[in-house]
Amino acid sequence: MFNGSRLGGTLIVVLAALVPTCFAGWLVWQSLNGSGEPSEKTSAAPARSGEGNGEDAGDGEKRDGKPGGKSGGNGRHKEPPESEEPLTGMTVVLDPGHNPGNSEHVDKISRRVDIGTAKKECDTTGTATNSGYPEAKFTLDLARRARTALEARGARVKLTHEGDVPYGPCVDERARKGNEAKADAVVSLHADGAPSGSRGFHVILPASVREGEADTRRITAPSRRLGGDLRDAFREATGERPANYLGDGEGLDTRGDLGGLNLSKVPKVFLECGNMRDARDASRLTSAKWRTKAADGITRGIEAFLTANR
């Protein structure tokens, strides 16, 4: 039979014994951690990005101590992957060959300028396809596409002209623009005007010359490396073969009669992207889709050269 009176008395005795003990424990806890929130030494601040692997990136700073960019929601700076902008800090000059307005200023572009080894025309009109698509229009479009791709990789890109001047610039001024920019690489873009049946692309390298204002001795070796990287990347991106009408079929040609190369003080090459007078080459040069591939090849070639020579 249940005896409620006896049980109630037992509970009272137990509670009377426990209350002093609990009260003493509460006093000890309060003295150690008064407010009930985490103490300063045990702060729950988010771990910094380097923690756990022996590195410390710092709050809102990159590992090199420079101020960080935008922070994420946790207050930590998030650095982009190293491969995202591999050309940061590098300067590239693209030289779109000729100018759409040259044909209207023949008297001005025909004047002679000093290229060190000789005197040559300020510029020429360039060539065109049989259907009338001009080289100058092709090179300007290609340069703009390549600029976009290079800038996406972090490069600082300058064009020798935007088609916004009446004619030129002259070949000596084109070289000067690359020199003044202290470019890490310069690529002059062209398309050839060889007889039909002559197909393919090639890269023109500077010969070693020293005469007058021309002195390429310091740039011939790096220019050759630039040319080789550009040739390989362009071939891979476009599927085009090196020119079948000059050199040894390797796609590299060395010349000492071009003012844009002779007067350069920085690594520089010319890229002849194909033959506008050949119907099969012309069908590619006039294709916007193909020019996107070509711009990718140019970008990858320049990137290969610059990242190998950092």
133 φ, ψ (degrees, to nearest 5)? -75, 115
Per residue, the 3-state secondary structure of 131-154, as one string, reads: CCCEHHHHHHHHHHHHHHHHHHCC
> Where is average pLDDT lowest: 43-47, 87-91, 144-148?
43-47
Catalytic residue IDs: 272
Query: What SS3 class is residue 170?
Result: coil
State the residue for tokens 């020019």: 291
Supply 39's token pair. Answer: 């103490």
Ordered by start, the domain boundaries in the chain are: 92-308
Nearest to 275 by CA among 246, 234, 243, 236: 243
Supply 198's token pair. Answer: 């002559």
Supply 270's token pair. Answer: 């010319």
Give the largest CA-CA distance in the chain: 127
**Over pLDDT 90: what percentage of the chain?**
72
Mean pLDDT in residue range 199-223: 98
**Over pLDDT 70: what percentage of the chain?**
73
- Rounded-to-integer distance, Cα 120 and Cα 168, Å: 13
pLDDT of residue 308: 94
pLDDT of residue 62: 33
pLDDT of residue 301: 98
pLDDT of residue 61: 31
Query: What's the mean per-residue pLDDT of the chain?
Result: 81
Structure confidence by residue, pLDDT tens digits, 16-52 = 444 454 444 444 444 444 333 333 333 333 333 332 3
Is the pLDDT higher at 8 or at 63? 8
87 φ, ψ (degrees, to nearest 5)? -105, 15
State the residue for tokens 């610039």: 169
Nearest to 276 by CA among 131, 140, 146, 145: 131
pLDDT of residue 126: 98
pLDDT of residue 82: 52
Grade residue 139 by pLDDT with cuts at 50, 70 and 90: very high
Is the pLDDT higher at 306 or at 75? 306
> Is pLDDT at 120 greater than 60 in this prediction?
yes
Structure confidence by residue, pLDDT tens digits, 248-279 = 899 999 999 999 999 999 999 999 999 999 99
Domain covering 92-308: architecture: 3-Layer(aba) Sandwich (3.40)
Q: Which long-range contacts (CB under 8 A, 24 or more apart) does 248-252 make?
A: 251/200, 251/201, 251/202, 251/203, 252/202, 252/203, 252/205, 252/224, 252/227, 252/228
In order, the DSSP letters of 11-33 are HHHHHHHHHHHHHHHHHHHHHHS
Grade residue 83 by pLDDT with cuts at 50, 70 and 90: low
Examine residue 38 and say whether the peptide bond preceding it is cis (omega within 30 degrees of 0).
Answer: no
Q: How many CB atoms lie within 10 A of CB 132?
A: 7
pLDDT of residue 192: 98
User: Do residues 279 and 196 make contact, with C-beta atoms less than 8 angstroms apart?
Assistant: yes
